[in-house]
């Protein structure tokens, strides 16, 4: 699917270490906490159910999940953390657009941390709306192949998506087959992602499950509508460092970028270490 963020592919070429697990737990705990304000029962709170699924996929202990739900739903007295969802926008080296979503209890701290991450690597944190128009928020559902299969066959997937729409399901805006990429966190060597409108996330993943597909993840995602191609090695290096710095911040929930790196430049960076 054209316009899919290339950062996920780039990031998967980099080592993923256990030291990041604590940061992942912090992020998903905050997501659960915020989602639980809409109700502590996952059955009636799709946002909470989604956050719990992310936490389980990350290996978060059940006790941590239950505590986050209790804090968010007000069941624990004396817990006064008030996290809110905030969006930040900016530019990286070469004019790369970056959109950041954060959960924070201190906007000033989060903005200062992000401004430093941008500026130290040749980017700049901009005003609200400076790059948002370059992205469209959509629903994305991740599928993996069935037992014994190394990849999803495109023809059955396409037939299934057409059948889903014909039976009254959500309109599918596109799909992308995913190849094995060496990501140690990937649930399977190959798979696919299916895209729909923002409001159709729950219907899309429910419909795909009913059709027998193995759904391993779903989320709302910012999809870049235009790509910013970088072939200059130094610009690419600085941009990747900036994205790593952003990704390392506890307050950052997720981010999207329209970076499209020249494959030969990526190979050169890898060879240089």
| Report for 43-47, 79-83, 124-128: range of highest mean pLDDT | 124-128
Residue-wise pLDDT tens digits, 33-43: 888 988 999 98
Q: CA 176 to CA 197: how far, in whole Å?
A: 15
| For residue 187, pLDDT beyond 80 | no
**Is residue 81 within 8 Å of residue 44, measured between CB atoms?**
no
| For residue 114, pLDDT beyond 80 | yes
Greater confidence, 263 or 213? 213
Greater confidence, 2 or 233? 233
Residues with Cβ within 8 Å of 194's Cβ and at least 6 positions away in sequence, in order, are 140, 141, 143, 161, 172, 174, 175, 204, 208
Q: CA 66 to CA 49: how far, in whole Å?
A: 12
Q: CA 155 to CA 223: how far, in whole Å?
A: 25
Q: CA 4 to CA 224: how far, in whole Å?
A: 7
Q: CA 253 to CA 248: how far, in whole Å?
A: 10
Q: With b meaning 16 or more CB within 10 Å and e meaning fewer, what string describes 11-40?
A: eeeeeeeeeeeeebbebbbbbbbbbbbeeb
Among all chains, which residue has been given the structure tokens 């950052």?
252
**What is the predicted pLDDT for the residue at 22?**
64
Question: Could you tell me the domains of the chain?
Answer: 85-132+226-272 (3.30.70.980), 135-224 (3.30.70.980)
In the chain, what are the helix, strand and coil shares in percent, each to the nearest 5? 45, 25, 30
| For residue 12, pLDDT beyond 80 | no
**What's the pLDDT band for 209 if we cut at 50, 70, 90?**
very high
**What is the predicted pLDDT for the residue at 72?**
86
**What is the predicted pLDDT for the residue at 16?**
41
- The count of other CB atoms within 10 Å of the CB of residue 49 is 16
| For residue 179, pLDDT beyond 60 | yes
What pTM was estimated for this model as a whole? 0.77
């Amino acid at each position: 699917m054209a316009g899919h963020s290339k950062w996920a592919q780039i990031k998967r070429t980099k080592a993923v270490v256990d030291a990041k697990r604590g940061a992942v737990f912090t992020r998903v705990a905050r997501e659960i906490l915020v989602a639980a304000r809409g109700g502590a029962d996952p059955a009636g709170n799709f946002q909470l159910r989604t956050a719990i699924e992310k936490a389980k996929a990350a290996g978060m202990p059940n006790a941590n999940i239950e505590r986050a739900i209790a804090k968010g739903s007000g069941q624990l007295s004396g817990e006064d953390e008030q996290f809110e969802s905030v969006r930040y926008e900016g530019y990286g080296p070469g004019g790369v657009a970056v959109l950041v979503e954060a959960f924070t209890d201190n906007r000033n701290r989060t903005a200062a941390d992000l401004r430093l991450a941008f500026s130290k690597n040749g980017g700049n944190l901009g005003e609200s709306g400076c790059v948002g128009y370059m992205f469209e928020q959509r629903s994305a559902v991740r599928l993996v192949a069935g037992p014994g299969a190394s990849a999803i066959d495109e023809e059955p997937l396409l037939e299934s998506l057409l059948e889903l729409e014909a039976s009254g399901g959500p309109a599918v805006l596109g799909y992308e087959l995913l190849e094995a990429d060496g990501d140690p966190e990937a649930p399977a060597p190959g798979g696919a992602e299916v895209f729909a409108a923002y409001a159709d996330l729950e219907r899309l993943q429910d419909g795909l499950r009913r059709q027998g597909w193995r759904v391993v993840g779903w989320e709302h995602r910012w999809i870049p509508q235009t790509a910013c191609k970088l072939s200059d090695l130094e610009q690419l290096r600085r941009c990747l460092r900036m994205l790593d710095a952003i990704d390392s911040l506890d307050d950052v929930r997720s981010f999207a970028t329209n970076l499209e790196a020249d494959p030969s430049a990526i190979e050169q960076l890898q060879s240089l270490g």
